[in-house]
Amino acid sequence: MRNFTKLSLYAALLCGAVPAMAQTDITSGAGLLTAQYGNNNASENYPKLTDNNVNTKYYTDHTTMWVQFEAARSAVVAQYSLTSANDYADRDPKNWTLQASNDGRTWTTLNTQTNQTFASRYLTKTYSFTNTTSYLYYRLNVTANNGAGAIQLAEWDLQGTYAGPASGPSNVTATALSGYKASITWSDNATNETGYRIESSLDAKTFLTRATVGANVTSYTDSSLSAATNFIYRVRAVNAAGVSAADTSDVIKTAAAPSGFDITNYANARFSDVYNTTGAEGLAKAFDNSPYTKYLTFNPTTSIGYSLTGGAVATQYSITSANDASERDPKNWTVQGSNDSTNWTTLQTQTNQLFTMRYKKRTYVFANTTSYKYYRVNITANNGSSITQLAELEIVGTGSGTLNTGVPAAPTGLTTQAVSSNQIVIDWTDNASTETSYRLERTTDTANWNTAFELPVNTTHFYSLNLSPLTKYYYRLRAENANGASAWVTANNTTLTATPRNPWQEHWFSHVEPLTLNYSNSSVNIYFDAAVSPTINWMNQDFTNVWEYVKQNYGSFSDPKLNMVFHSKPGYSGGHAAAVFDADHDYMNACDLGGEWTAREGWNLHASIHEVGHIVEGGSKGVHKSPSFPIWGDSKWCEIFIYDVMKRLGWAADAQQAYNDFVVKAESYPNPDTYWFRDWFMPIYERGDSSAALNRYFDLLAEYFPQHNGDYTRDLNLGEFVHFWSGAAQFSLEYQADTAFGWSKELEMQFKQAQIDFPFTYPQPFNAARVAALPEKKAAVLNIWPNPASNTLNLSLPEAAKTYAVDIYNIAGVKRLSQRVKGNYSHLNISGLADGVYIVTVTDNKQIIHRQKIVVSNTTR
């Protein structure tokens, strides 16, 4: 958000029939800029597009992309400008469209450009077109550049005029009511509105219209909400010209749905759809109790029917989104009941529904006391596709149906593949739809089945880990439910030798070198390419120690050995890791690095341990993949991992150097200048139980986060990430997340929904309102550092002539230190404070102008 005027000393080229006129720079006003692709380099990320500085740029290594601006209020845009960046003209956009929308989902093309070039660097080209309609969203959709493998732009400006009521509502308040309703109230500040638009969101990012009420109305009741769901509301004033800025409520949560019986599981239930859809993605998949299969029809609408001869009183239903293509999700539907399949009673209508993630189950409760023989769900619109899909449809109620008393169908096609000295991969076909689990048993003698695994419904794949080399293993498998078990099916296989490969022929990515085994013991195999001197040996004992510590803290990784691969051949640089689940590295724990390896120092040590950290995140607790990686990326987790390993191994100087390197490192996610190590991981590490907290995070993921066939099925969002780390730290990290990332409405919604979806608990955070009952005013420019702090706390203060009161409170709200300071720069001696989390307040004339959480760590690291 900016409030200064753009520099106008640039060359402008007018394109189109309508002349350019002086207008408001919409992108310099309040609004939200988003992009299809972010850039991990904050100095070249998409916010640079609207920073009023042609010397910065947005760069993305894609040849097509879109960027989008959501204005705070409606605007009529009829002109826009693009400014070329500093270098490489072949990265300039060539073909694009400017599109507009009022809901962020349905787009109108306003202007199309093809074969565009920029004759010089920092050149601004302005495009004008005819438009008299106001919109909230504007999107620049680049479909081609001028030949490079990337696109860059220095600036994107939208020029136009604001429309709609100038004054929006205030004091928007949402209250959850019984019966899955919400009451929304607001203050009416407009004088020229024709009504008010009420919007709701499941993620504080995508808002959908729920209703529009008349002028001067100040309340609305939203009904038929999904159960156990967090909602947030915003309200806008509306007139013929557009909409005002919105005011947003706090987050509310609906009650959980009552427990009940899924009547679609009656043995004599019958199902139908208007298209008689059959096959691998046919109608039956909507009722097979597996979110990993789906019903798909090549139509934008559909009707799914259910019938039960004896009838049933249905009172709720659930729809689960399928694996991909969110635009195929149902959006609008009605649920109806009938006793003759001709005359239908509508039980509930839903519009503008959204599924925020894949495999997301949303449950809806409705009032009904009538028994119907027929039910149907008429899906009248999806979210924009010509294809409609869903994973599961469940209907809950009481009825007269035939309970399934049979045992589940037995699996078939049981196969085993010995892939290493420690692992056999097992696959089978799931033929059951009524199983509650699978039971897999293992033995080495066919008589004593002494190892058993209870696997979730719909499982068809299993990694049999922690085996002994050159041993024949026998397996038997059956499906089970409350009625009993299917017949056993059996298979067997023999594990491979544990003798290290020498040479080990690379066959991954661009790597094709024959690797020589330079050192081996019970914990590590060290491989060199031909360019690494065989006399180098510092890594032998170091990585023996590293791997032994990793197994001690994080548990088994199936293969007891770590394979370290070191390259010095030109063209081999950087590093990557693989875990025992990865066929392309022969199902072994492997770290592959390129560099010059003579010295045990700096990058050599950090990069090598860094790659071991990727094995931990991608193969911990016997589950494949890292759902955290899109959040912490390539380095953030690995930094605390490196520090922890070095500290636990007693490498004090190395640990201190790592700390010094990481504590000053700023990242661009989730916001520019985010200090992950300093403000997130170190406070958890030092306030919690350090290494144990790091391990507990992976324990919780393996226990609670969705997985199928041994792989995590999706990625975490940031709120879920904070929730799982709160469980790992064993205290709520809401305030820590606020310090590290900034606490937004979106993050709050994700965090609260995670607490519903993954119900492990931890103590709630200290209430900052207890610090002092003083009124606050807007904070001045002020900074307190470092954080974590040891012995001394530094302060920069706004005005040199003023005297400020600085108070430090412990987590219980008890004041532990108070000092009056004067001048632009000061410092406090905090050596007498015990280690822990504190609240620092800075007061100016009895008004708090700054409040900040800090971690005090006065003991030796």
Q: Give the residue with greater pLDDT, 838 vs 368.
A: 368
Q: What is the chain's length?
A: 861
Tell me how far apart the terminal alpha carbons of the chain are, to the nearest angstrom: 40
Question: For position 549, what pLDDT does the model report?
Answer: 97
Grade residue 1 by pLDDT with cuts at 50, 70 and 90.
Answer: very low
Crossing angle (nearest 10°) for helices 734-741 and 745-757: 150
Cα angle vertex 333, ends 330, 338, to 5°?
135
Whole-number Cα distances in Å, 24 to 4, 7, 28, 161, 776: 12, 13, 8, 6, 34
Of 467, 229, 464, 260, the residue nearest 357 (C-alpha): 229
Q: Where in the chain is the domain with CATH 2.60.120.260?
A: 24-162, 261-400
261-400: which CATH topology? Jelly Rolls (2.60.120)
Cβ contact 465:426 at 8 Å: no
Compute the mean pLDDT over every residue in the chain, rounded to the nearest whole number: 91
What residue spans of 527-666 are helical by DSSP H? 538-554, 602-619, 629-632, 636-648, 652-663
Among 374-378, 600-604, 765-769, which stretch is predicted with the lowest mean pLDDT? 765-769
What's the CATH architecture for 24-162? Sandwich (2.60)
Question: For position 765, what pLDDT does the model report?
Answer: 65
Task: Compute the average pLDDT of residues 432-444.
Answer: 94
User: Is the pLDDT reported for residue 14 higher than 50?
Assistant: no
Of 58, 66, 72, the residue nearest 30 (C-alpha): 72
CATH code given to domain 783-856: 2.60.40.10
Give the other-Cβ count within 10 Å of 429's Cβ.
13
| Type of residue numbered 103 | D
Grade residue 40 by pLDDT with cuts at 50, 70 and 90.
Answer: confident
Q: Where are the beta strands (DSSP E) in 811-846?
A: 815-822, 825-829, 836-844
Residues of the chain with pLDDT > 90, as a percent, come to 78
Cβ contact 663:683 at 8 Å: no
Which residue(s) pair with 477 in the sheet? Answer: 440, 489
What residue spans of 705-845 are helical by DSSP H? 718-729, 734-741, 745-757
pLDDT digits (tens, 9 = 90+) for 174-213: 999 999 999 999 999 999 999 999 999 999 988 999 999 9
Task: Compute the average pLDDT of residues 390-413.
Answer: 95
User: Is the pLDDT reported for residue 774 higher than 50?
Assistant: no
Question: For position 782, what pLDDT does the model report?
Answer: 72
Task: Compute the average pLDDT of residues 756-783.
Answer: 58
Among 281-285, 404-408, 535-539, 667-671, which stretch is predicted with the lowest mean pLDDT? 667-671
| Largest separation between any pair of C-alpha atoms in the chain | 88
Pairing of strands 590-594, 562-567: parallel
Task: Compute the average pLDDT of residues 446-455.
Answer: 93
Question: Side-chain half-sphere of 559: how many Cα atoms within 13 Å?
Answer: 30
Grade residue 824 by pLDDT with cuts at 50, 70 and 90.
Answer: low
User: Is the pLDDT reported for residue 772 higher than 70?
Assistant: no
What's the CATH architecture for 412-495? Sandwich (2.60)
CATH code given to domain 170-253: 2.60.40.10
Q: Where in the chain is the domain with CATH 2.60.40.10?
A: 170-253, 412-495, 783-856
Task: Compute the average pLDDT of residues 817-835.
Answer: 79
pLDDT digits (tens, 9 = 90+) for 288-301: 999 999 999 999 99
pLDDT digits (tens, 9 = 90+) for 106-145: 999 999 999 999 999 999 999 999 999 999 999 999 999 9
Cβ contact 796:825 at 8 Å: yes
pLDDT digits (tens, 9 = 90+) for 548-562: 999 999 998 999 999
DSSP state of 674: B
Among 488-492, 553-557, 767-771, which stretch is predicted with the lowest mean pLDDT? 767-771
Question: For position 760, what pLDDT does the model report?
Answer: 93
Among 2-6, 16-20, 573-577, 587-591, which stretch is predicted with the lowest mean pLDDT? 2-6
User: Is the pLDDT reported for residue 773 higher than 90?
Assistant: no
